[in-house]
């Protein structure tokens, strides 16, 4: 039976939305205890690994280094959400393989798939905390617990740091937070540009949807009964822009189309199809399954620039006004308030093609506005990647964060860069940290719009 309320926010307004928080906190079944499993090949051979299910439908992996002895536990909040269906156990396997560097550095690692795919920042924060309690129940409390959020998981970790913060004299479960390549600032802030992409792409290409297909407001992502596949969408994008072809094989019209889209949205061509995928299937999940069909994205007042005829572009693109109820609900679920109580260290590639580095500015402004700016140190690397950065940088970040927690030695970008260089002997010449960099305002990257 379809519930008459969205499935992920705590309290909403206008009697449209209610609370599922009580249900979310009540396990549907008893969690399965961690079962020994052979570790993935990427994890050090002497490590011990375990898998299980958390009672809510989320699968998990736990990895313990040989000499852990209740030392430091890193709770990992993964990125995405690329999949919008049920949770898949292999997701946690892939995360452990990618983040085996954590275990190599001597820390225990635990990661949840979350109970389902699709959008839900608070849900994912709850699932990560649930796994932490499972870990403590079976392996004992860690000396220190670090919350590591990657990409979308950066938003999850930033929210969890506030949801599970210390209260009065009672310490919270996390001693520090590491955010890498974070999609920060909340859903509307982080995804507004994908609505921009949809409207500009459609003005240029007119094939998503095609004229002979059912028409729909682009913020809906895709009709629920649509049969369009990712491969078919990629074919449409390529037909319009030639983005999958060598430049020499593109027609002049394709070159012009591609230039208009990339210049107006300020994304690299290699990420065009990926961002359109998120603006299609993730938007469908977010709007139609989580927000009862209400629109959290608007582009009223946005003035797009970079085309051969900006006046025609701005006159021709579709315009949508965001629904205040949807905006408030999405913010409640995902937007940080800045009320953190533990040290937060971040790393972001300056040329990240997926999560703009300017999102760090939005997060910094939030913490400073809440009077918590001193709890934040941001570092940036001279890289053009999103999903994983240089090996040596992660052990350096963990070590710097732990010294901040244990000794009160607040790191600086310069000290983290120097520490990273010291780790290159063990992890290879992979330090790219640029100490003097400061992320520009988000408005310099994402077209401003009316509030």
Give the DSSP letter string of 89-106. HHHHHHHHHHTHHHHHTT
Q: Is the pLDDT of residue 22 over 80?
A: no
Lowest mean pLDDT among 68-82, 287-301, 330-344: 68-82
pLDDT digits (tens, 9 = 90+) for 198-247: 999 999 999 999 999 999 999 999 999 999 999 999 999 999 999 999 99
Which one-letter DSSP state was computed for residue 168? T
CB count within 10 Å of CB 162 equals 17
Confidence of residue 16 (pLDDT cuts 50, 70, 90): very low
Question: What number is the average pLDDT over the span 386-390?
Answer: 97
Domain ranges of the chain: 31-142, 189-322
Phi, psi of 440, rounded to the nearest 5 degrees: -70, 170
Res 269: pLDDT: 97
Res 12: pLDDT: 40
The enclosing H or E element of 267 equals none
Give me the chain's average pLDDT, please. Answer: 92
Name residues whose C-beta falls within 8 Å of residue 62's C-beta, 6 or more positions apart in sequence.
34, 49, 50, 51, 52, 108, 109, 110, 135, 139
> Is residue 253 within 8 Å of 241, Cβ to Cβ?
no
Question: What number is the average pLDDT over the span 79-98?
Answer: 91
| % the chain with pLDDT above 90 | 88
What is the distance between the alpha carbons of residues 285 and 279, in angstroms, rounded to a whole number? 10
> Is residue 313 within 8 Å of 304, Cβ to Cβ?
yes
Question: What number is the average pLDDT over the span 108-120?
Answer: 97
Residue pointed to by tokens 């690329």 = 82
Res 171: pLDDT: 87
Is the bond into 159 cis (omega within 30 degrees of 0)? Answer: no
Q: Is the pLDDT of residue 71 over 60?
A: yes
> Is residue 377 within 8 Å of 368, Cβ to Cβ?
no
Q: Is the pLDDT of residue 21 over 80?
A: no
Confidence of residue 15 (pLDDT cuts 50, 70, 90): very low
| Bridge partners for 109 per DSSP | 63, 74
Lowest mean pLDDT among 26-35, 63-72, 252-261: 26-35
Res 105: pLDDT: 96
Residue of higher predicted confidence among 135 and 167: 135
Confidence of residue 139 (pLDDT cuts 50, 70, 90): very high
3-state SS assignment for residue 69: coil
Phi, psi of 411, rounded to the nearest 5 degrees: -75, 160
CA angle 57, 58, 62 (to 5 degrees): 140
Name residues whose C-beta falls within 8 Å of residue 182's C-beta, 6 or more positions apart in sequence.
149, 150, 151, 153, 154, 155, 157, 158, 346, 348, 355, 359, 360, 363
Among 145, 144, 139, 179, which Cα is nearest to 357's? 179
Lowest mean pLDDT among 69-73, 174-178, 431-435: 69-73
Q: Which two tokens stand for residue 383?
A: 């890289």
Confidence of residue 451 (pLDDT cuts 50, 70, 90): low
Side-chain half-sphere CA neighbours of 228 within 13 A: 23
Among 254, 214, 210, 215, which Cα is nearest to 232's? 210
pLDDT digits (tens, 9 = 90+) for 396-418: 999 999 999 999 999 999 999 99
Phi, psi of 121, rounded to the nearest 5 degrees: -65, -50
Q: Is the pLDDT of residue 43 over 70?
A: yes
**pTM as predicted:** 0.93
Res 28: pLDDT: 54
What is the distance between the alpha carbons of residues 94 and 418, in angstroms, rounded to a whole number? 30
Question: What number is the average pLDDT over the span 132-148?
Answer: 97
Res 27: pLDDT: 45
Res 414: pLDDT: 98
> Is residue 380 within 8 Å of 413, Cβ to Cβ?
yes
Question: What number is the average pLDDT over the span 301-317?
Answer: 97
pLDDT digits (tens, 9 = 90+) for 337-355: 999 999 999 999 999 999 9
Res 5: pLDDT: 34
| % the chain with pLDDT above 70 | 94
């Amino acid at each position: 039976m379809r519930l008459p309320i969205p499935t992920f926010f705590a309290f909403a307004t206008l009697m449209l939305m209610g609370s599922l928080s009580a249900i979310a906190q009540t396990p549907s079944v008893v969690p399965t205890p961690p079962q020994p499993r052979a570790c993935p090949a990427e994890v050090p051979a002497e490590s011990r690994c375990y898998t299980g299910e958390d009672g809510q439908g989320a699968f998990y992996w736990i990895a313990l280094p040989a000499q852990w002895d209740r030392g430091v536990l890193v709770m990992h909040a993964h990125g995405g959400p690329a999949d919008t269906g049920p949770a898949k156990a292999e997701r946690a396997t892939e995360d452990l393989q990618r983040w085996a560097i954590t275990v190599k550095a001597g820390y225990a690692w635990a990661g949840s798939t979350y109970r389902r795919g699709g959008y839900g920042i608070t849900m994912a924060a709850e699932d990560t905390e649930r796994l932490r309690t499972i870990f403590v129940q079976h392996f004992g409390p860690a000396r220190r617990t670090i919350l590591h959020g990657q990409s979308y998981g950066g938003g999850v970790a930033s929210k969890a740091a506030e949801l599970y913060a210390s209260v009065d004299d009672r310490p919270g479960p996390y001693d520090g937070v590491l955010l890498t390549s974070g999609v920060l600032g909340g859903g509307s802030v982080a995804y507004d540009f994908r609505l921009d992409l949809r409207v500009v792409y459609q003005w240029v290409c007119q094939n998503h949807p095609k004229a002979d297909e059912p028409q729909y407001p682009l913020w809906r992502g895709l009709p629920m009964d649509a049969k369009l596949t990712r491969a078919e969408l990629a074919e449409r994008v390529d037909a319009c822009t030639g983005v999958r072809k060598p430049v020499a094989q593109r027609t002049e019209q394709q070159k012009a189309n591609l230039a208009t889209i990339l210049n107006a949205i300020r994304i690299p061509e290699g990420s065009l199809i990926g961002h359109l995928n998120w603006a299609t299937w993730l938007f469908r999940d977010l709007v139609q399954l989580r927000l009862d069909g209400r629109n959290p994205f608007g582009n009223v007042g946005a003035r797009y620039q970079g085309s051969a005829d900006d006046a025609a572009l701005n006159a021709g693109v579709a315009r949508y006004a965001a629904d205040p109820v949807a905006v408030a609900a999405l913010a409640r679920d995902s937007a940080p308030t800045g009320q953190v109580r533990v040290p937060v260290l971040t790393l972001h590639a300056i040329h990240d093609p997926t999560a703009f580095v300017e999102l760090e500015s939005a997060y910094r402004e939030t913490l400073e506005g809440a009077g918590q700016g001193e709890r934040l140190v941001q570092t940036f690397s001279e890289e053009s990647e999103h999903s994983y950065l240089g090996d040596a940088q992660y052990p350096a970040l963990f070590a710097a964060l732990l010294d901040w927690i244990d000794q009160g030695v607040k790191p600086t970008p310069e000290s983290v860069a120097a520490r990273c260089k010291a780790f290159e002997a063990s992890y290879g010449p992979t330090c790219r940290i640029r100490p003097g960099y400061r992320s520009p305002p988000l408005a310099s990257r994402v077209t401003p719009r009316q509030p």
